Amino acid sequence: MEENVYNYVFHYNSMTKNWSAIPRDKYQEYWSNPNTPGILKSSNIKTLVELIGKGEDFVKSIKSKSRAKTQMDDLETYRRGRDKY
């Protein structure tokens, strides 16, 4: 499952204290706009690795659900409760 992680670049923002999981095809766009759609964010890198490890379909389901809320809110809810998804 962790082979999915190779398709992402991880960046820690010390100002916001959040990790971003950036798909390789969004890497350059991320530096112009950190809120680029498709970027996963969490305060815990282990959460990002776990979510990415669940597969591309699962990640897409998170992204589609997060359109109504920020991706950060969805990921943090998942990390705390793990029963939302």
Instruction: Give the integer Cα–Cα distance in Å for 53 and 58.
Output: 9
pLDDT at 84 over 50: no
The string of DSSP codes covering 3-45 is: GGGGGEEEEEETTTTEEEEEEGGGHHHHHH-TT-TT-EEES-H
* pLDDT tens-digit readout, 49-66: 988 888 877 777 766 555
pTM strictly above 0.75: no
